[in-house]
A and B are shown apart, each in its own frame.
Chain A
Amino acid sequence: MTTTQMAQAPRQRLLPPETGRASFADALRSEFTKIRSTRSTYWTLLALIVVCIGIGALASAGTASHPNGISAAQFDSTQQSLAGLYVGQLVIAALGALTITSEYSTGMIRTSLAVQPRRGVVFAAKGVVFAAVTLIVGLITSFGSFFVGQAILSGAHLSATLGQPNVLRAVIGGALFLTACGMLAYGLGAVLRHTAAAISAAIGLLFVLTVLVQFLPQSWQDSVDRWMPALAGSQIWTTKVTGEAHQFPAWGGFAVLAGWAAVAIIAGLVLFRTRDA
């Protein structure tokens, strides 16, 4: 029925624009539709918010219930309320990896590249959309954790405010930290093209490596762990220089994490462009 209608109907050509080409903006719209149209995105982002705020609240409550002996001058209440980021980095890494590996596991990548064969455009658009979504949700997570945590800590007169030195930078930094961790996993996803492998690699780099370094002799540890992605990156959501003076300062540490992410992304891009899909 449909086909006979088609044959009879005068052909109305859907004309492409006379100039230009399928653009980066088109690719961004396409990738945004992709990320907002799968349930896993919502579940993962919801998990991120709940886990980060929940763990931050627990950590804050723990401190608030036993405040004796804690010096308000040395205690980093911002960092305490953001403690959920230690787990949140793993949640966002999973989503970052999935953003690209799910295209391979479902076969969607072949359809995607058959409509936009300029692979650099696809890779960049996907990365930018994921980073933007993560940054926004990361800000909600980070500010949410901060306010909930401070409300709990205020009972013990240990709370911080956004106006205090470094606090706003640390809270925004929490979102940047999540974004960088997600992008690291995105790059690994493009390299490995396999969901489980990419998530494992990301957790290995962010979490396991951080733990393993603790088993090194102290003198080695001091020079090695400042270069570890998660440890270095987490300096951006601290407000006070602690005893761990061998760590890079906030932005320096974040730059180390961003460097790790950049290496993974560049490796991913190169392989994404050259390999058969």
Chain B
Amino acid sequence: MIEARGLTKRFGDKLAVDQLSFTVEPGRITGFLGPNGAGKTTTMRLILGLDRPTRGSVTVHGKEFSRLAYPMHEIGALLDAKAVHGGRSAYNHLLCLAQANGIPRARVGDVLDLVGLTDVAPKRSKGFSLGMGQRLGIAAALLGDPAILMFDEPVNGLDPEGILWIRNLMKALAAEGRTIFVSSHLMSEMEHTADHLLVIGRGRLIADCSVAEFIERNSVQSVRVRTPKPELLADLITAAGGTSVAGAGGVLVAQGLPADRIGDLAFENAIRLHELAPAQASLEEAFMELTADSVEFQAHTPGRPDTGRASRTDRMHPTGVA
């Protein structure tokens, strides 16, 4: 379990992490989501004691990280796969880490097997590909057989095979009862792996809920209807308590009413429907919506890129998701 209470880190006049309070519960995958620069890495560095908090505290299993007797047995972290001495062989890299926590030498061979690096163990890690480097970092995190694993953007830059490997590995590790705390700036990645979400933007906690809850809470159900009489149907929808926006070619995007209710309305009033389709905003859209105001470096293009129907209607009918 990781607990942050009022965790704050200031770099100069920039508040990287701002009053963050959360709990990473044991035995599940918690996704730590936020746009680039939201403070995810800083938060993880604070957890490991690499940075000192300006205010507040964070504990691992109830203790400050530096007070853990054998840190590697409690928490294994992969923050940056390149944080190794490239001149050292994979084996010796893992050995020096194992020795620091009194972990038997035999365990080095085990984790090398586990991540599939046994063949290159005697090679210097300088020549490793990104994927191999990532595997080496994960091997290091697993050395102490820790109850908590913490990964910072583990799939960044990996090829599809590597992404799949990491995804399955995280699920397997969670299935063993471990706590996984994994950060990403891609909602789609979390959609596949996480049970629980912590969303941050500009160092502040925006959401702390299950993935299902997050989708439900943040995605707006809308219905796309195409009819020869859009004006008539729009009036009926409004009368029934919904809202709608007219598009080109007789298209209406309605909100506030379920698809079957709109179908019934049309039938009762003898309006022909050429299309009736419920649409749910994807998690990605919900995430974009949620963090739109907290992206650190907002690009100043006129309007946001049109990501789909739902977001178009969202923009026209602010529903207060943020």
Contacts and interface: CB of A to CB of B under 8 A. Distances in A.
Given A6-B172, A115-B72, A13 B115 contact: no
A108 B85 contact: yes
B83 A107 contact: yes
A3 B101 contact: no
Interface in B149-189: 165, 168-169, 171-173, 175-177
A133 to B, nearest CB: 15
Nearest to A109: B83
Nearest to B82: A107
A274 B66 CA distance: 13
Interface in B92-115: 92-93, 95-97, 99-103, 107, 113-115
Contacts of B26: none
B101 A116 contact: yes
A112 B71 CA distance: 11
Nearest to B175: A7
Nearest to A25: B102
A73 interface: no
B70 interface: yes
Contact of B176 (A6, A14, A23): A6
Contact of A37 (B70, B92, B144): B92
Nearest to B176: A11
A33 B176 contact: no
B114 A26 contact: no
A21 B70 contact: yes
B114 A106 contact: no
B61 interface: no
B261 interface: no
B65 to A, nearest CB: 5
B77 interface: yes
A217 interface: no
A113 B48 contact: yes
Contacts of A106: 83-86
A157 interface: no
Contacts of B235: none
B69 interface: yes
A2 B116 contact: yes
Nearest to B141: A114
B71 A111 contact: no
A192 B229 CA distance: 74
B145 interface: yes
B260 interface: no
Nearest to B46: A276
B70 A16 contact: yes
Interface in A242-277: 274, 276-277
Interface stretch (B49-57, B206-214, B278-286, B294-302): B49-57
Nearest to A274: B52
B50 A110 contact: yes
Contacts of B140: 111, 115
A39 interface: yes
Contacts of B84: 106-108, 111
B4 interface: no
Contacts of B45: 110, 276
B52 A276 contact: yes
A26 B50 contact: no
A4 B172 contact: yes
A40 interface: yes
A115 B208 CA distance: 29
A14 B175 CA distance: 17
Nearest to A121: B100
A63 interface: no
6 contacts: A22-B100, A22-B101, A110-B80, A117-B65, A276-B51, A276-B52
The 9 A-B pairs of least Cβ separation, nearest first, read A107-B83, A37-B92, A14-B145, A21-B69, A30-B100, A117-B66, A33-B96, A16-B73, A30-B99
Interface of B: 45, 48-52, 65-66, 68-73, 77, 79-80, 82-89, 92-93, 95-97, 99-103, 107, 113-116, 140, 144-145, 165, 168-169, 171-173, 175-177
Given A7-B171, A34-B85, A114-B79, 15 more contacts: A14-B144, A14-B145, A15-B73, A16-B73, A16-B102, A26-B100, A26-B102, A30-B97, A30-B100, A37-B92, A37-B93, A40-B87, A111-B83, A114-B71, A115-B97
